[in-house]
């Protein structure tokens, strides 16, 4: 955001020095930055090849992020929501759950986010190595 503002101000001052009689300003649209975009894709590929209808019968994990019932319950308890496991087939709802947990860690530690998303213990290292392949 600061870079965009700085760039806009530089354009404003530069346009005044090169065309002092001009009384206009150019404002450029910059799409919002999504710091989790690459991680979302990578986790989606590892979890279910980005298939929103994926379902793991053994773990009862649903959707793009393969969210299990315990995660839905925890999310609902923490946020006051009333989502269900079936809601995890809806990408937007499932992404909201994923981002809730990702934001608790922050956008600049993909490894910690991915490993926490997967669970705990030594197997999260293997999971992280799989996720890294898609980043």
Q: Scan for tokens 């197997």, then name that residue.
A: 123
Better pLDDT: 18 or 105: 105
Residue 60 pLDDT > 80, yes or no?
A: yes
Give the residue-averaged pLDDT of 88-100. 98
| CA-based nearest residue to 97, from 46, 40, 56 | 40
- Rounded Cα distance between 33 and 107, Å, is 11
Beta bridge partners, 61, equal: 56
User: What structural domains and CATH numbers belong to the chain?
Assistant: 1-33 (no CATH), 35-132 (1.10.530.10)
Which structure tokens are listed for 43?
């986790």
| CA-based nearest residue to 36, from 122, 119, 117, 123 | 117
Angle between helices 37-48 and 91-105 (to 10 degrees): 120
pTM of the model: 0.76
The band of 122, judged by pLDDT with boundaries at 50, 70 and 90, is confident
């Amino acid at each position: 955001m600061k870079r965009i503002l700085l760039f806009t101000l530089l354009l404003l001052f530069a346009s005044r020095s090169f065309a002092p009689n001009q009384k206009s300003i150019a404002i450029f649209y910059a799409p919002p930055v999504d710091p989790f975009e690459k991680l979302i894709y990578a986790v989606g590929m590892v979890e279910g090849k980005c298939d929103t209808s994926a379902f793991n019968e053994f773990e009862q994990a649903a959707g793009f992020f393969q969210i299990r019932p315990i995660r839905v319950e925890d999310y609902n308890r923490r946020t006051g929501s009333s989502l269900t496991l079936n809601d995890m087939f809806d990408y937007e709802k499932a992404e909201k759950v994923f981002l809730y947990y990702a934001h608790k860690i922050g956008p600049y530690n993909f490894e910690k986010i991915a490993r926490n998303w997967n669970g705990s213990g030594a197997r999260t290292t293997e999971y992280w190595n799989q996720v890294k392949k898609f980043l």
